[in-house]
Chains A and B, each alone.
Chain A
């Protein structure tokens, strides 16, 4: 298990934390303030995000074939925006 190298968001000091601290707040050894340690993103996330984006584009294409390019952009863009909003909420 390797440690995570992180840097303080207040004073830019770089320090290591154990992997178990991924995604947590830890006090910086230099300035003492709580700073967020990056979370390990799940390896399944990247392909999942690509599939969602591809589905949005596909829905847009289908809608544009049925009701014209404006509807296509509206459907594809709307779904993509919804997915991004959901991602931000998570």
Chain B
């Protein structure tokens, strides 16, 4: 497995000044760039590619929305090196209106973990205050995703527990999705 997936801590940063689509960079705790993500423009159904290098020649993951009209937004996360699906993430439609909630599924689409915004109180305050307060998400399979307070650049700090039960590649994909989907609501 790529060493990127062995990191316990990393930061996802949205690149500024991208007119179409979106672009993210991932940094390790020492500030070295370890991955680069590109979200395809002109696609209503999300298509995000994660690469090891900034030149985007060495793919790590692909995250693709399901090609179907459904109420849940579901995203399949594929190890781009092996070409194997490692799992999926599904945004809980109704629940997420008040408090963002995602289901994490394994490769056979069986639920294995839940991602939830820190607390209902904070979630409601955020919705009233137009997302000025940074979001924090907890994954019950052993990870925390914490948005930094920065009204200009979206940054998400990811910290994975040593004994996390969820596949690290899947966790990485979920973190990128949170930055891409939930982060978009801020801008």
Contacts and interface: CB of A to CB of B under 8 A. Distances in A.
Interface string B65-81: 01111100010101000
A89 B42 contact: yes
Interface stretch (B83-91, B147-155, B157-165, B167-175): B83-91
A25 B44 contact: no
B49 to A, nearest CB: 14
Contact of A23 (B67, B82, B107, B109): B67
A19 B84 CA distance: 21
Interface string B105-138: 0010100000000000000000000000000000
Nearest to B44: A90
A71 to B, nearest CB: 28
A22 B64 contact: no
Interface stretch (A32-40, A51-59, A72-80): A32-40
B109 A20 contact: yes
Contacts of B107: 27
Given A24-B76, A89-B44, A33 B64 contact: no
Nearest to B41: A89
A21 interface: yes
Contacts of A32: 84
Interface residues of B, number: 20
Contacts of A26: 85
A34 to B, nearest CB: 4
Contact of B43 (A21, A33, A89): A89
B76 A34 contact: yes
Contacts of B9: none
Nearest to A10: B83
Contacts of B67: 23, 36, 39
A22 B69 CA distance: 10
Contact of B85 (A23, A27, A90): A27
B45 interface: yes
Given A33-B83, A34-B78, A39-B67, A21 B109 contact: yes
Contact of B78 (A21, A23, A25, A39): A25
Given A20-B109, A36-B67, A27 B84 contact: yes
A40 B85 contact: no
Residue among A23, A36, A39 with max Cβ neighbours from chain B (10 Å): A23
8 contacts: A24-B68, A25-B64, A25-B85, A26-B85, A34-B76, A39-B68, A89-B43, A90-B44
